[in-house]
Amino acid sequence: MNDKKNDTTDVVPEPKGVSRRSFLGTGAVTGAVLAGATALGAGTFTRESWAAAAKEAKSRIHVAPGELDEYYGFWSGGHQGEVRVLGVPSMRELMRIPVFNVDSATGWGLTNESKLILGDSAKYQNGDCHHPHISMTDGKYDGKYLFINDKANSRVARIRLDIMKCDKILTVPNVQAIHGLRLQKVPYTKYVFANAEFVIPHPNDGRTFDLQDKNSYTMFNAIDAEKMEMAFQVIVDGNLDNSDADYTGKYAASTCYNSEKAYDLGGMMRNERDWVVVFNIPRIEAAIKAGKFITLEGSSVPVVDGRKTDGKDSEFTRYIPVPKNPHGCNTSSDGKYFIANGNLSPTVSMIAIDRLDDLFAGRYKDPREVIVAEPELGLGPLHTTFDGRGNAYTTLFIDSQVVKWNMDEAIRAYKGEKVNYIKHKLDVQYQPGHNHASLTETSEADGKWLVVLCKFSKDRFLPTGPLHPENDQLIDISGEEMKLVHDGPAFAEPHDCILARRDQIKTQKIWNRNDPFFAPTVERAKKDGINLETDNKVIRDGNKVRVYMTSMAPAYGLTEFTVKQGNEVTVTITNIDQIEDVSHGFVMTNHGVSMEISPQQTSSITFIADKPGLHWYYCSWFCHALHMEMVGRMLVEKA
């Protein structure tokens, strides 16, 4: 199935002396032109035809000044530990939401409010974000939350989309490296499903380092989405990679690329087949409700064992063999299939979700009977997304392509019918990882746009030294053939993204004064007898000094306060402006102090006044014609 007759890649005559790849390397518009070759017809391109195709590509993504994008895009910030908000199709960056990082613009990781959310994990200065996903109700985005993982420090965070701020962070116990993350789709997002990737000994206290020991394993994790607390964990054979959930609320599935439980490259590639683990959520819930679970040393989280014992299946899981070192796990938008992407196999495996009841009931002798197709697509299939019209789009890492294929026709071919299920292949630049089509994770997949996140970008942008940006490419999938319309450089391995219609995200224009985000600070002020909207006071409590002030463009309520050297100073500021866009900042020079205070927000930050003398503070967000005059002084008396 990997011969020429099954490869529908556009064949375009190349100008003399110029390779196809070097032609692609001349820029995003050139790539768009090449992708649109069929529309222009075969033959040698003229300058006019190239220009016409470039103009068409530009028109597809142009969002005029004052107009709004059709979609919100949420990008994982990769090694930056943040979430980036883009407009699609313009691909304009709108905002960055700090999560696992320190951000001096907003004060995230510096303010008392953010440190409270970060909890004990505030000690980590890094993060590795991979998979952003939006909460759902009845299989559709409800715009309430976005969840994101930190693989580096085994954390999961929740972002409130009404304010686009992180409000909860959970460190997942008993495991290392939270990687694959997906959400329960129906009836609502009750659980966040999170895979722990690496096998570790239990307890992991140095007594053994043997990964083959029966007490060395990793776990599938379920987090209560509302409480942001652990719900349960499931011990599995092998490790776990990516995951997804079905449209019934009954099943979740995860790929495993290291069924060997090896720690070296050769060992991890030894088996020709690894597996997809399917989790029966109601059975797990019932066992926990009945008290049929264990807890691990130092943890109160309910744990059930989903491993095979003496060749017998656990009641909670089934292991479906698939080739080889599978990576992505994606649920088709029609709810029919889990797609396991082969990675080291040129195939993907289509698992029929409606056969899983029979699989758990023991009606199949071979668990592979739930696989209804295993189409051969190309080299290095990693992730698959869907257009809602029966077509799937899979990234081919080694081929540097995206392949469009039809799921029903792949099933017919698997049964022996001669049918070409591959509809189109498109070169992307280069080595694509995740891809994501508009609304693809919901029942409303609309088949308009496809984002491909390419890991390499050689020759696509101005050179930036040895460290290159990555390349996020936007592809129009509304027609029969894919058309590349935009290249966008991205920093530090964004990894994955998700698109939602703009009407599905409802944001506040200014803060609600009763918002729980700064409730602890409000409670502290009440204990001090402070009215945050009107009072500008200094409270002295031994070596601790609490400074309360308002801000209203272009002045702070206090333009001077005095402390003693060595005092612990907490500055709490309430922005009493009621006009959107009038955000203020607070920076205390030479003290590592910086924070944002948006309209009607209260923010606080604590530091040690360790240097005697005069220290200026100033507003760091340009708020007024007299912004430069919005300053004050901290006078530090010598101890």
Tens of pLDDT, residue by residue over 349-376, are 999 999 999 999 999 999 999 999 999 9
Structure tokens given for 233: 């964990």
**Does 103 have pLDDT greater than 90?**
yes
Q: Greater confidence, 42 or 353?
A: 353
**Does 251 have pLDDT greater than 70?**
yes
Q: How far apart are CA 179 and CA 189, in angstroms?
A: 19
The dihedral built from the CA positions of residue 320, 324, 330 and 333, taken in this order, carries a sign that is negative
pLDDT band at residue 540 using 50, 70 and 90 as cut-offs: very high
- Read off φ and ψ for residue 627, nearest 5 degrees: -55, -40
pTM listed for this prediction: 0.92
Taking all residues of the chain, what is their mean pLDDT, rounded to a whole number? 92
Nearest to 407 by CA among 373, 445, 451: 373
Q: Identify the residue whose tokens are 């599905």.
A: 504
Q: Identify the residue whose tokens are 């905002």.
A: 95
pLDDT of residue 46: 65
**Does 1 have pLDDT greater than 60?**
no
Q: How far apart are CA 496 and CA 451, in angstroms?
A: 9
Q: Judge contact between 595 and 580, C-beta under 8 A.
A: no
Burial 183-206 (b: 16+ CB within 10 A, else e): bbbbebbbbbbbbbbbbbbbeeee
pLDDT of residue 58: 74
Q: Which residue spans within 197-238 are E strands per DSSP?
A: 200-201, 216-224, 229-236
Residue type, 286: A
Residue 493: inside a domain = no
Residue 522: inside a domain = yes
Residue 320: inside a domain = no
pLDDT of residue 50: 56
Q: Judge contact between 135 and 145, C-beta under 8 A.
A: yes
Nearest to 147 by CA among 583, 441, 449: 441
- The domain total for the chain is 1
pLDDT band at residue 89 using 50, 70 and 90 as cut-offs: very high
Residue 302: inside a domain = no
Q: Judge contact between 149 and 130, C-beta under 8 A.
A: yes
**Does 15 have pLDDT greater than 80?**
no
pLDDT of residue 70: 97
pLDDT of residue 61: 85
Rounded percentage of the chain residues whose pLDDT exceeds 90: 90
Nearest to 346 by CA among 371, 375, 309, 305: 375
Nearest to 148 by CA among 172, 132, 127, 166: 132
Structure tokens given for 320: 């479906």
Give tens-digit pLDDT for 309-343: 998 999 999 999 999 999 999 999 999 999 999 99
**Does 63 have pLDDT greater than 80?**
yes
Q: State which residues form the domain around 534.
A: 516-637
Residue 530: inside a domain = yes
3-class secondary-structure state, position 132: coil
Residue 192 Cα distances to 135, 195, 264, 283, 529, angstroms? 9, 10, 30, 17, 40
Give tens-digit pLDDT for 600-635: 999 999 999 999 999 999 999 999 999 999 999 999
Q: Judge contact between 424 and 403, C-beta under 8 A.
A: yes
pLDDT band at residue 49 using 50, 70 and 90 as cut-offs: low
Four-point Cα dihedral 293, 299, 305, 310, nearest 10: -110
Burial 20-59 (b: 16+ CB within 10 A, else e): eeebbbeebbbbbbbbbbeebeeeebeeebbebbbebbee
Give tens-digit pLDDT for 404-450: 999 999 999 999 999 999 999 999 999 999 999 999 999 999 999 99
pLDDT band at residue 59 using 50, 70 and 90 as cut-offs: confident
pLDDT of residue 303: 98
Bridging pattern class, strands 243-245 and 251-256: antiparallel
Q: Judge contact between 578 and 599, C-beta under 8 A.
A: yes
Q: Judge contact between 465 and 457, C-beta under 8 A.
A: no
pLDDT of residue 55: 73
- Average confidence (pLDDT) over 217-230: 98
**Burial (Cβ within 10 Å: 0-12, 13-18, ≥19) of residue 523:** exposed
**Does 37 have pLDDT greater than 50?**
no
Residue 596: inside a domain = yes
Residue 84 β-bridge partners: 75, 96
Residue 327: inside a domain = no
**Does 43 have pLDDT greater than 70?**
no
- Average confidence (pLDDT) over 157-186: 98
Least confident of 41-45, 234-238, 509-513, 516-520: 41-45
Residue 587: inside a domain = yes
**Does 40 have pLDDT greater than 60?**
no
Q: How far apart are CA 588 and CA 632, in angstroms?
A: 9
Residue 533, domain CATH: 2.60.40.420
**Cβ neighbours around 210 below 10 Å, total:** 11
Rounded percentage of the chain residues whose pLDDT exceeds 70: 92
**Does 32 have pLDDT greater than 60?**
no
Residue 589 Cα distances to 108, 125, 308, 620, angstroms? 18, 22, 60, 11
Alpha carbon 521 to its chain's center: 30
